[in-house]
């Protein structure tokens, strides 16, 4: 279907001022009764929350192994409805949220791409969101624009349908639930070596436009003695907002283009792909940056306990031959997203006690 009307641009008084504020000042706006209500930025998560979500994720994982446990989970939220509004492509975030909802008994509606919504008639994004809020109890969004989920929550919180909004990825900016599942994965992978505290983590690839590494970097403020190694081609190096944040929080970071030199030093390597979708003309960006790929022969260079992560999808960054090595944790990481997102939804609808009580 051809788009036949330009999107209506509505002016919301106060939005520009709000958007410019430091995150610390905005967090309260996305809380209710001292609890998180909207999940917009990774900076909203503190250590007790991260630890609790990881424990809850483990409990849901265990319950889901049996029919009895699955029944318990399914009867927690059958009275709630969720909207998956994904106007930017996604496989994992969409499916893991959808299945997390099913697991907890929620009914799910979806719009994948704006061509099937009344946005083609020129309806504004904000009116579109208000419409979703008329029908459902929670919105999970994926959008190409930075700040989209934040504006959605900001608009809805001023209406009589202030329902939870979860940011499932907003442009090259933030992907807080990916950061949550990355933390969950790291804590699980390091469960026999004291957890994430004290670990050295390399982030490799397009760090400038990779929202996953940006969100994960913010979460490092919650862990003791962590050090980061940013490994990227010059044009895709980590942006100043993140490095300033790390400096402010006294988290050491090192920047290099020499991937091989840091391989033996680190406890985890987080690979990312080049985010061509944010290029002015992606067809011009054909360089794959092989110096920033992890190849089978590199398995000899890393420590015996080193964990290999990737938010996926991958292209050339990790050889498929690496997948068989037990240190390749990215397929486990992907599945962890479903458990931790179920934990998050249970928390947002305040039924987490009904899961925790099973284990007390
Ligand atoms: N990691 C991640 O966000 O994957 P998708 O784009 O497939 O959702």
Whose C-alpha lies nearest to ligand 1, atom 3? 93
Which range, of 34-43, 252-261, 279-288, 303-312, averages the lowest pLDDT? Answer: 279-288
The total of other beta-carbon atoms located within 10 Å of residue 247's CB is 12
pLDDT for residue 3:
58
- For residue 288, what are the CA distances in angstroms to 284, 315, 317? 12, 9, 8
Mean pLDDT of 309-323: 97
Residues 141 and 250 reside in one and the same domain: no
Q: Are residues 195 and 152 in the same domain?
A: no
Structure tokens at 142: 């994926």
Q: What's the half-sphere exposure (Cβ side, CA atoms, 13 Å) at 211?
A: 24
- How confident is the model over 182-205, as a mean pLDDT? 97
Comparing C-alpha atoms, which of 119, 124, 112 is closest to residue 87? Answer: 112
Q: How many domains does the chain have?
A: 2
Q: Which atom of ligand 1 is nearest to the CA of 334?
A: 1
- 34 and 166 belong to one structural domain: yes
Tell me which of 311, 330, 332 to substitute to probe ligand 1's pocket, judged by most ligand atoms within 8 Å of the beta carbon: 311
Give the number of other Cβ atoms within 10 Å of residue 72's Cβ. Answer: 15
CA–CA separation, 252 vs 247, rounded Å?
7
Looking at the structure, tell me whether residues 37 and 133 fall in a common domain: yes
CA-wise closest residue to 169 among 197, 150, 192, 186: 150
d(CA 203, CA 132): 37
The per-residue pLDDT for 348 is 98
Same domain, 219 and 325: yes
User: Which residue in 199, 212, 204 sits closest to 142, CA to CA?
Assistant: 212
Burial class (CB in 10 A: 0-12, 13-18, 19+), 77: buried
Q: Residue 119's pLDDT is what?
A: 87
Q: For ligand 1, atom 1, which residue shows the shortest CA distance?
A: 311
Same domain? For 225 and 112 the reply is no
Please indicate, yes or no, whether residues 217 and 290 belong to a single structural domain of this protein: yes
Work out the average pLDDT over 346-350: 98
Indicate whether residue 169 lines ligand 1 (CB < 6 A): yes
Residue count of the chain: 360
Full residue range of the structural domain in which residue 261 is found: 176-276+286-335
pLDDT above 50 (res 1) = no
pLDDT surpasses 80 at 54:
yes
Instruction: Please tell me the predicted confidence (pLDDT) of residue 2.
Output: 55
Within a domain: residue 303?
Answer: yes
Rounded (5°) CA angle 196-198-200: 85
pLDDT at 115: 83
Q: Is the dihedral of CA 175, 181, 184, 188 positive or negative?
A: negative
In a domain, 62, yes or no: yes
- Is residue 146 located within the same domain as residue 32? yes
Compute the chain's Rg from CA coordinates.
Answer: 20
| pLDDT score, position 286 | 78
Is residue 80, in this structure, part of any structural domain at all?
yes
Q: What are 258's two structure tokens?
A: 């020499």
Indicate if 234 and 322 belong to the same structural domain.
yes
Number of the ligand 1 atom closest to the C-alpha atom of 95: 8
142 is catalytic: yes
**Mean pLDDT calculated for residue range 14-35:** 96
The dihedrals phi and psi of 155, each to the nearest 5 degrees, come to -65, -50
Each residue of 213-266: pLDDT tens digit?
A: 999 999 999 999 999 999 999 999 999 999 999 999 999 999 999 999 999 999
Percent of the chain with pLDDT over 70: 98
Our answer to whether residue 92 is catalytic in this structure is yes
Q: Is the CB of 91 under 6 A from ligand 1?
A: yes
122 inside domain = yes
Q: Are residue 70 and residue 165 in the same domain, yes or no?
A: yes
Q: What value does the mean pLDDT of the chain take?
A: 95
> Taking 70 as the threshold, does the pLDDT of residue 25 lie above it?
yes
Instruction: Write phi, then psi, for 81 (nearest 5 degrees).
Output: -125, 140
Q: Give me the DSSP letters along 64-127.
A: TTSHHHHHHHHTTSTT-EEEEEE-S--SHHHHHHHHHHHHTT-EEEEEESGGGSGGGGT--HHH
Distances (CA, A) of 352 to 28, 65, 138, 180, 216: 21, 18, 16, 17, 24
Q: Is the CB of 171 under 6 A from ligand 1?
A: no
Residue 89 placed within a domain: yes
pLDDT reading at 357 higher than 60: yes
Q: Give domain status of residue 6, yes or no.
A: no
Task: State residue 35 phi and psi, 5-degree precision.
Answer: -120, 155
Residues 187 and 140 in one domain: no
Q: Is 314 in the pocket of ligand 1 (CB under 6 A)?
A: no
Q: Which residues pair with 268 in a beta bridge?
A: 201, 307
Is residue 7 in a domain?
A: no
Asked whether 51 and 343 are in contact (CB, 8 A), the reply is no
Report pLDDT for 282. Answer: 66
Which secondary structure element, helix H or strand E, spans residue 139, and what is its range? strand 138-143
CATH code for position 326: 3.40.50.1370
Indicate if 318 and 344 belong to the same structural domain. no
The 8-class DSSP code of residue 264 comes to G
Task: Tell me whether residue 15 is in a domain.
Answer: no
Cα torsion 29, 33, 35, 37 to 10°: value is -50
CA of 94 to the centre of ligand 1 (A): 8
- What is the distance between the alpha carbons of residues 205 and 275, in angstroms, rounded to a whole number? 9
């Amino acid at each position: 279907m051809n788009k036949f009307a330009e999107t209506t641009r509505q002016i919301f008084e106060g939005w520009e001022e709000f958007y410019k504020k430091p995150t610390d000042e905005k967090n309260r706006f996305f809380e209710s009764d001292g609890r998180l209500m909207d999940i917009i930025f990774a900076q909203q998560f503190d250590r007790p929350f991260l630890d609790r979500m990881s424990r809850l994720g483990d409990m849901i994982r265990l319950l889901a192994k049996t029919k009895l446990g699955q029944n318990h989970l399914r009867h927690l939220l059958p009275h709630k409805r969720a909207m998956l509004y994904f106007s930017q492509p996604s496989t994992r975030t969409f499916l893991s949220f959808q299945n997390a909802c099913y697991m907890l008994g929620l009914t799910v509606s979806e719009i994948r791409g704006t061509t099937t919504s009344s946005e083609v008639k020129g309806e504004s994004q904000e009116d579109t969101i208000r419409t979703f809020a008329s029908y459902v109890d929670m919105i999970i969004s994926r959008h190409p624009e930075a700040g989209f989920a934040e504006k959605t929550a900001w608009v809805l919180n001023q209406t009589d349908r202030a329902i939870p909004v979860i940011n499932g990825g907003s442009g090259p900016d933030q992907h807080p639930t990916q950061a949550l599942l990355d933390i969950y994965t790291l804590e699980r992978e390091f469960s026999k070596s004291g957890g994430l505290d004290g670990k050295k983590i390399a982030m490799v690839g397009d760090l400038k436009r990779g929202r996953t590494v940006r969100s994960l970097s913010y979460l490092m403020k919650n862990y003791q003695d962590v050090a980061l190694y940013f490994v990227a081609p010059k044009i895709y190096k980590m942006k100043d907002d993140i490095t300033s944040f790390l400096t402010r929080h006294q988290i050491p970071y090192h920047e290099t283009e020499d991937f091989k030199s840091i391989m033996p030093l680190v406890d985890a390597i987080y690979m990312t792909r080049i985010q061509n979708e944010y290029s002015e003309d992606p067809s011009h960006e054909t360089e794959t940056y092989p110096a920033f790929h992890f190849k089978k022969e590199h398995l000899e260079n890393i420590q015996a306990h080193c964990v290999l992560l990737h938010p996926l999808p991958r292209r050339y960054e990790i050889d498929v031959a690496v997948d068989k090595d037990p240190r390749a944790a990215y397929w486990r990481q992907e599945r962890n997203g479903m458990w931790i997102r179920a934990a998050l939804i249970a928390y947002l609808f305040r039924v987490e006690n009904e899961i925790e009580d099973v284990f007390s």
